[in-house]
């Protein structure tokens, strides 16, 4: 997108082809890029949903082993209850990993969706401007239009000024295009989603610093207290 924005008029002049035709080709190419972007976003969201389902399955598995440990303890089999709690701990560990990956995938999907929406807006803007851009290119190809009025041989002052202005506009367009590309790549201002992700990582780190939670024996004791064994 940035490449098209920064070189739209200059490329038309250099090729010497029909400006409207070239603009249409560029816009079509950008439209195809957006279609591929839609597919990428759909894939990213689908992967986040798959990971979410895995977390939910882990929650159900944790609840199952907790109830089994309680059943074994009520039956007076502490060894079996302890084995059930070990399985519960294993699933809890797997769940924590799946939840972390799911959070990261969600952030990626949100960022991709935001980038796609910005690209769609830019394409809509260019479609509205294509007539003006084509007209400017056509006028430049035909010799500058009204700028030739009053010229008496030699260098045309208006033409010299137009070339200087064109160079300045080209540099400005390059800077603008680079800013847009950097923003699309996530190097611009921090979005709410990325800020939320940073706080989520910080909260996980703080939680991790408090230890891994009660071990199996502590949980077994708590379970005994709960069912009054």
What are 75-120's pLDDT values in tens digits?
Answer: 889 899 999 999 999 999 999 999 999 999 999 999 999 988 888 8
CA triplet 71, 74, 80: central angle to 5 degrees? 60
Confidence of residue 224 (pLDDT cuts 50, 70, 90): confident
Contact 41, 195 (CB under 8 A): no
Confidence of residue 221 (pLDDT cuts 50, 70, 90): confident
Phi, psi of 191, rounded to the nearest 5 degrees: -80, 165
pLDDT at 225 over 90: no
| Euclidean distance between the first and the last CA atom of the chain, given in angstroms as a whole number | 68
Per the structure block, which two tokens stand in for 155?
Answer: 């260098």
Q: How far apart are CA 212 and CA 215, in angstroms?
A: 8
What is residue 125's predicted lDDT score, i.e. its pLDDT?
A: 83
| 183 or 202: which leads in pLDDT | 202
């Amino acid at each position: 997108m940035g490449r098209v924005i920064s070189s739209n008029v200059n490329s038309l002049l250099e090729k010497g082809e029909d400006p409207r035709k070239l603009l249409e080709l560029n816009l079509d190419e950008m439209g195809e890029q957006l279609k591929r972007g839609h597919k990428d976003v759909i894939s990213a969201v689908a992967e986040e949903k798959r990971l979410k389902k895995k977390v939910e399955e882990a929650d159900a598995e944790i609840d199952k082993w907790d109830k089994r440990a309680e059943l074994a303890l009520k039956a007076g089999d502490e060894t079996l209850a302890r084995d059930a709690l070990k399985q519960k701990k294993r699933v809890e560990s797997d769940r924590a990993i799946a939840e972390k990956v799911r959070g990261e995938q969600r952030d990626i999907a949100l960022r991709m969706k935001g980038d796609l929406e910005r690209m769609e807006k830019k394409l809509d803007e260019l479609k509205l401007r294509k007539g003006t851009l084509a007209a400017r290119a056509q006028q430049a190809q035909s010799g500058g239009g009204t700028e030739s009025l009053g010229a008496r041989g030699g260098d045309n002052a208006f033409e010299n000024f137009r070339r200087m202005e064109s160079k300045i506009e080209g540099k400005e367009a390059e800077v603008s295009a680079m800013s847009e590309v950097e923003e699309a790549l996530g190097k611009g201002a921090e979005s709410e989603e990325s800020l939320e992700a940073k706080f989520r990582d910080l909260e996980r780190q703080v939680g991790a610093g408090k230890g891994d939670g009660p071990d199996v024996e502590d949980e077994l004791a708590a379970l005994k207290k709960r069912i009054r064994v």
